[in-house]
Each structure stands twice: as structure tokens, then as C-alpha cells.
Amino acid sequence: FRESGWKGQPNAVSTAIISDTKAGASFESILEEIYREARAEAVAGEKLPILKRAGGPEQQDEHFRQCLSKQFEAYYDGNWQILDFVDIPLSLASRLSDDDIGAILVCIDAKNNLERLNLTHCFNVVGYGFIPLR
């Protein structure tokens, strides 16, 4: 990590993301965390169309998990060709910095593997974290 010219080490957030999103790994724990966060927002009165269209609570749970599972499978099976931070809970993704993004890109060898990057909910990214893509 230091050899790549980055200041410091990956922080706890980026380390957790890297360890939770390895290619070929199960995404059940991430899926459950996203679901809990979405359910809490729905209870708090936030508008979540995916949960409102599915009927009762049990149908909502199943519909939510099915939709996310299909999306996850498409890029988890892609060996890091696609990286979308939608699978990271909003509470984590919204705190990611350029250093975090850079650390993740270095760890997945993004320069050689990544074809598409979506920074869903990554509000604190300025741009210097993309240096590993050069």
C-alpha cells in the first residue's frame, strides 16, 4: 500500500469493505445489513419504493432480497470487472474517502481488472483516489 504512494494505511472502513467483498465470497451478511438499514429507514418514514410495491411485510422481505441478490450476482461473479458500492451499507459508503477508494482499487488490482466503477452513495470522494486506475 505504501509503495503505491498513498499516505497512511487503509482505514477500518475500507479494510472492512475489502474483506467483505472479495470475489467469489458470499454476500449474505452484506445483504442482511443492507436490508436492516432499508427496513429501519422505512419504519422511520423514508420512501423506499422497492419495499412498498411488494405487499405485506413477508413479501416485502422476499422481494427486497431477490432484487438485491440478482444485482449482486452480476458483478460478484465478474472477478472485479464491475465494482459498485451499492452493496455497501449507506452508513459506510457515505463515509468513504479518496484514500479508502484508492486502497480498495489497489487491493483488487483495478488497473488490470476493473471495467466499470459506480460510486453509489460515496459522497466524500473528490477524485485523487482514482490514481490506481492509471
pLDDT for residue 85 is more than 80: yes
pLDDT value at position 84? Answer: 83
**Mean of pLDDT over the chain:** 69
Q: For the chain, give the percent of residues with pLDDT over 90.
A: 1
pLDDT band with cut points at 50, 70 and 90 for residue 30: low
* Residue 100 in this model has a pLDDT that exceeds 70: yes
Cβ contact 28:41 at 8 Å: no
d(CA 47, CA 72) in angstroms, rounded, equals 22
Helix (H, G, I), strand (E, B) or coil at 83: strand
What pTM was estimated for this model as a whole? 0.48
User: Is residue 20 packed enough to be buried (19+ CB in 10 Å), middle (13-18) or exposed (0-12)?
Assistant: middle
Helices 28-43 and 57-76: crossing angle in degrees, nearest 10, is: 140
